[in-house]
């Protein structure tokens, strides 16, 4: 992975504001700027103190690395040479101000919901008939992974699309992540977060909307659909939560067996971070909050293991996200979502609302359609792609945008019947 060159995607990211096209900033009536108290929606911008950036560089200079791994691959974790290279780039070439400028080119806000200030991006489309959409990230992701899809979703005509596919885009930071408040009490699980998202959309004046999520965002979107708030028309997932619990020991089709094998491999070889954060988030939080190199290794491993290596994330993309975690001091608070939801099984349960699924080939496991149909009786969209992984919007923003347009087009034009499913070219899952 070349550390001394910006990728095409990084160059596009630098265009931040231009990518939004002619999307409009919120007007006072939309932002509830005149409202006082907890219901107030307040504009937000972020400028990292230079002292914080200088301290980060000093800490990177003083990194104490362990010895080299005893293997020649990633089986023991991030190889020493790979992390040294990433840390060197972070210390000598990475520019947080570039990312910060892009972040501040989007309309950002904070509003208090259920005792916490929730941070979110809110980009209204220039097309008044646009469909409101709330998108939720996961761990170790953030709102940054959606930068390149917001413009095309909000203003499709400025990006080669149709105005009929326009969205008003809302992208909140999960509690304990980014610029949202850190919970000071137990109980901020995915169920409570979904309820907060309902209040957020109500507060923004949206009585008719759709939701999307992957990773923890898939859990939030699933719980949101199961709560069935007034106005939610359907959801889209890039990680369907449809693993039978337990997985049958026999009678599986070849596709189901591959999915079962990948789940078993994930549990036995790649779940160390999950178990630590689900049981001792405070303990791991000390190390990750104190050592930027440690934080980088913790997150870098996830970006490496669960992305499509044919189109790897650039150093800037990874470090934008890692630096956000560092500057906001959210290593421990973001890990607590695993602790709060440690009792969740591998299956999210039945969703009665319309559901669309996009299956990316380097996702942590390939959900078989049969398993999805058992949980989603109104499965309106199913598409298996040929590239992309767990961080789909970050890795393949153009394809991800197309997936959301295609899925929710079915709800705009003609709500699907319970058994109706979009039939698109796809890889068959036996």
Enumerate the active-site residues: 215, 338, 390
- Angstrom distance (rounded) from CA 402 to CA 156: 10
Q: How far is CA 66 from CA 69, 270, 293, in A?
A: 9, 21, 11
Write out the two tokens for 346.
Answer: 């591998």
CB–CB of 228/353 below 8 Å?
yes
State the burial class of residue 211 (Cβ atoms within 10 Å of its Cβ: 0-12, 13-18, 19+): buried
Give the Cα separation of 216 and 333 in Å (integer): 14
Phi, psi dihedral angles at 6 (to 5 degrees): -80, 140
Q: What share of the chain is helix, strand, coil (3-state, %, to 5)?
A: 45, 15, 40
Q: Is 379 helix (H, G, I), strand (E, B) or coil?
A: strand
φ/ψ bin of 67: left (φ > 0), alpha (ψ from -120 to 50), beta (otherwise): beta
Q: At what angle do helices 272-279 and 281-290 cross, to 10 degrees?
A: 110
Q: Which of 65, 60, 69 is nearest to 87 (CA)?
A: 60
- 3-state DSSP of 159-202: HCCCHHHCEEEEEECCCCCCCCCCCCCCCCCHHHHHHHHHHHHH
Contact by Cβ (8 Å): 220, 200: no
Q: How far apart are CA 428 and CA 430, in angstroms?
A: 6
158 secondary structure, DSSP code? G
Neighbour tally for 218: CB within 10 Å:
23
- β-strand partners of 43: 109
Query: 3-class DSSP state for residue 52?
Result: helix
Helix H or strand E encompassing 42: strand 41-43
Nearest to 302 by CA among 73, 79, 141: 141
């Amino acid at each position: 992975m070349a550390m001394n060159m910006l990728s095409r995607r990084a160059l596009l990211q630098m265009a931040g504001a231009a990518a939004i096209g002619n999307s409009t900033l919120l007007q006072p009536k939309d932002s509830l700027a005149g409202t006082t108290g907890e219901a107030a929606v307040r504009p937000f911008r972020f400028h990292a103190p230079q002292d914080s950036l200088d301290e980060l560089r000093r800490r990177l200079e003083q990194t104490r690395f362990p010895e080299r791994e005893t293997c020649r691959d990633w089986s023991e974790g991030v190889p020493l040479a790979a992390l040294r290279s990433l840390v060197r780039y972070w210390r000598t070439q990475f520019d947080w101000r570039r990312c910060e400028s892009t972040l501040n080119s989007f309309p950002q806000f904070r509003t208090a919901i259920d005792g916490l200030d929730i941070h979110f991006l809110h980009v209204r489309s220039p097309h008044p008939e646009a469909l409101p959409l709330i998108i939720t990230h996961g761990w170790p992701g953030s709102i940054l992974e959606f930068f390149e899809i917001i413009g095309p979703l909000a203003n499709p005509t400025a990006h080669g699309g149709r105005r009929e596919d326009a969205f008003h885009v809302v992208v909140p930071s999960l509690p304990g992540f980014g610029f949202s408040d850190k919970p000071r009490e137990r109980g901020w699980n995915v169920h409570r977060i979904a309820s907060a998202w309902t209040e957020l959309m109500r507060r923004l004046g949206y009585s008719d909307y759709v939701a999307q999520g992957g990773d923890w965002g898939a859990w939030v979107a699933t719980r949101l659909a199961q709560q069935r708030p007034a106005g939610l028309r359907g959801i889209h997932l890039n990680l369907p939560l449809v693993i039978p619990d337990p997985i049958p020991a026999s009678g599986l089709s070849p596709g189901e067996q591959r999915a079962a094998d990948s789940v078993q491999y994930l549990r036995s070889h790649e779940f160390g971070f999950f178990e630590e954060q689900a049981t001792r988030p405070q303990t791991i939080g000390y190390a990750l909050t104190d050592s930027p190199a440690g934080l980088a290794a913790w997150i870098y491993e996830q970006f490496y293991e669960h992305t499509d290596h044919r189109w790897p994330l650039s150093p800037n993309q990874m470090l934008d996200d890692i630096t956000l975690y560092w500057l906001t001091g959210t290593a421990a608070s973001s890990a607590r979502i695993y602790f709060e939801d440690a009792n969740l099984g591998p299956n999210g349960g039945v969703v009665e609302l319309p559901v669309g699924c996009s299956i990316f080939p380097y996702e942590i496991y390939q959900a078989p359609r049969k398993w999805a149909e058992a949980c989603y009786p109104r499965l309106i969209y199913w598409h298996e792609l040929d590239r992309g992984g767990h961080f789909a919007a970050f890795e393949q923003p153009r394809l991800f945008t197309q997936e959301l347009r295609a899925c929710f087009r079915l709800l705009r034009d003609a709500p699907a019947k319970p058994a109706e499913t979009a039939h698109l070219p796809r890889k068959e899952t036996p």
